[in-house]
Amino acid sequence: MIRVLLADDQRLFREALAMLLSVQDDIQVVGEAADGAQAVELAGRASPDVVLMDLRMPVMDGPTATRHIRTNHPRVQVIALTTFDDDADVFSAIRAGAIGYLLKDASSERLMEAVRAAVRGESVLEPGVAAKLVLRVAQLPTPAPDPLIAPLSGRELDVVRLLAGGRSNREIAAALFLAEGTVKNHVTSALSKLGARDRTQAALRARELGLL
């Protein structure tokens, strides 16, 4: 079972989200927090695998809570789930260690996919958020990047370009007419060649190398 902690200051939203998650056979809601401080406390007591974290909350905001959780419980993955996608929120959440970033109007299917992907160490980002990250890197002065460990194959490059747009493995598989397991293998290989630890870092590294 995937153990999920909910952190949101809107009680009705938390209850609706808990109900939505609880009907999944492989997901268990292990706690609900009304602010960031409660989320930090429950992350230590409830042993969640994934935290769905609102960003703008009283007492302690989402990015600060995310940073505390990722520092003290590094195996716990955090997905930002918020109404806002302005640059300040996006970058503060990612810098704090969030593995994914979704808006609250995301489909239930995408949310479930993001939770399951987070447990596998994969990030799911809103396409607009992925674009913001790539654009921010493009604007930063950076030294010449180190060369690739090995060149990407044509198919690996196709996969990297799609994941840089925030696509999940399932969506990439559909777009390229590949099996999802094949896409996962291509992602793993591409991350290794790019020297990246996750999909977000792979997208940024590919942008630095001029591959996007």
Cα distance between residue 111 and residue 1, in whole Å = 16
Cα distance between residue 30 and residue 28, in whole Å = 6
The parts of the chain modelled with pLDDT lower than 70 are: 85, 87, 127-149
Q: Global pTM?
A: 0.66
Task: List all residues 6 or more positions away from 182 whose beta carbon is below 8 Å from its beta carbon.
Answer: 173
Cα distance between residue 32 and residue 46, in whole Å = 10
The whole-number pLDDT of residue 181 equals 92
| Locus of tokens 């690739």 | 148
Cα distance between residue 122 and residue 208, in whole Å = 21
Q: How many CB atoms lie within 10 A of CB 58?
A: 10
Q: What is the pLDDT of residues 144-198, one digit of tens each?
A: 555 666 788 899 999 999 988 888 899 999 999 999 999 999 999 998 888 888 8
Domains of the chain as residue ranges with CATH: 2-124 (3.40.50.2300), 142-208 (1.10.10.10)
Say if residues 58 and 35 touch (Cβ distance below 8 Å). yes
The whole-number pLDDT of residue 91 equals 81
